[in-house]
């Protein structure tokens, strides 16, 4: 069986024996792969120091036809994730890896998802470069990334129209958001729903802007209170979607997060 070439992001590494590792790679060509890298940590191995977490690398993989681990035979570093002085950038990068793992099945190619993740990791990795990125920009970038990844896999939250009846949202003040329904709800459809929280109009409008404009995260000004509300909403929505709370999600807000209010 011939080895196949792919561009990969390293999203998990688990030691296997003294020098080997079991890796989870998200590849542009083949989707998520679980591979055994024999001799991964040998000083003079064939992996060119390419297997650090969140690194992007060119890999050669021997694919298994059914079951078992694929075999990683070679890796060449393309770009290394550099966290510099920002803990938020590191947590954000690991959150991107968590999303790639949680939102995808094995061996299901999602090239658009790969491109979004790679672009975000590059931006997070360059946050210390002149002129640099502020923490508020990094937080907005991560929300934009979540919304785009959810859109690609078919689970984007409805933000303009009621997720149930598709009517335009005209509710004044706080807007009901149904976690199980997949987005905002009109007053008529929210009755009797479970897992509904009330979200401020500025928070919903910020989400709409970030969802529609790929560059908005660089310029948008999001007050701390609004970001805290958005962060809590996205954490809870993603947890409902994947069936568990993502590990790094609670660390993405450098400011206190108010508890969502239930609509009266």
Would you list the domain boundaries of the chain?
Answer: 1-133, 154-264
Q: Which of 77-86, 157-166, 178-187 has the lowest mean pLDDT?
A: 77-86
The secondary structure of 15-65 as a DSSP string is: EETTTEEEEEEEETTTEEEEEEETTTT-TT-SSTT--STT-EEEEEEE--S
Q: Is 107 left (phi over 0), alpha (psi -120 to 50) or beta?
A: left
pLDDT band at 256 (very low <50, low <70, confident <90, very high): very low
Taking 50 as the threshold, does the pLDDT of residue 257 lie above it?
no
| Residue range 153-176: mean pLDDT, rounded | 95
Taking 70 as the threshold, does the pLDDT of residue 131 lie above it?
no
SS3 113: helix
Tell me the pTM. 0.91
- My answer on whether omega of the bond before 131 falls inside 30° of 0, hence cis, is yes
**CB contact set of 41 (below 8 Å; sequence gap of 6+):** 15, 18, 19, 20, 21
Q: Which of 41-50, 152-161, 244-253 has the lowest mean pLDDT?
A: 41-50
Q: What integer best gives the mean pLDDT of the chain?
A: 91
| Bigger pLDDT: 255 vs 232 | 232
Task: Select from 229, 239, 235, 234 the least CA-distant residue to 261.
Answer: 229
pLDDT tens sequence across 1-37: 678 999 999 999 999 988 899 999 999 999 999 999 9
CB atoms inside a 10 Å sphere around CB 152:
18
CATH of domain 1-133: 2.40.50.140
pLDDT tens sequence across 197-248: 999 999 999 999 999 999 999 999 999 999 999 999 999 999 999 999 999 9
């Amino acid at each position: 069986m011939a080895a196949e070439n792919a561009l990969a992001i390293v999203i998990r590494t688990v030691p296997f024996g003294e020098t080997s590792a079991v890796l989870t790679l998200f590849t542009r060509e083949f989707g998520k792969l679980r591979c055994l890298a024999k001799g991964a940590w040998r000083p003079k191995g064939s992996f060119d120091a390419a297997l650090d977490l969140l690194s992007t690398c060119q890999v050669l993989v021997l694919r298994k036809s059914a079951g078992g681990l694929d075999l990683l035979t070679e890796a060449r570093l393309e770009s290394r994730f550099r966290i510099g002085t920002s803990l938020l950038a590191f947590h954000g990068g690991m959150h991107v890896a968590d999303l790639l793992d949680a939102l995808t099945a094995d061996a299901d190619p999602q090239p658009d998802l790969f491109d979004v993740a790679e672009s975000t990791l590059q931006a997070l990795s360059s946050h210390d470069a002149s002129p640099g990125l502020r923490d508020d920009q990094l937080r907005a970038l991560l929300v934009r990334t979540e919304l785009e990844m959810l859109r690609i896999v078919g689970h984007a939250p409805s933000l303009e129209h009621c997720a149930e009846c598709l009517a335009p949202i005209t509710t004044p003040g706080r807007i009901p958001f149904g976690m199980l329904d997949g987005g905002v709800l009109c007053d008529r459809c929210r009755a009797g729903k479970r897992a509904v929280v009330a979200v401020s109009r500025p928070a919903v409008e910020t989400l709409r802007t970030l969802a529609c404009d790929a560059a908005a995260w660089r310029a948008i000004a999001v007050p701390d209170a609004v970001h805290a509300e958005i962060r809590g909403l996205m954490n809870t929505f993603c947890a409902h979607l994947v069936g568990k709370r993502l590990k790094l999600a609670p660390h993405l807000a450098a400011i206190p997060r108010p508890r969502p209010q239930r609509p009266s």
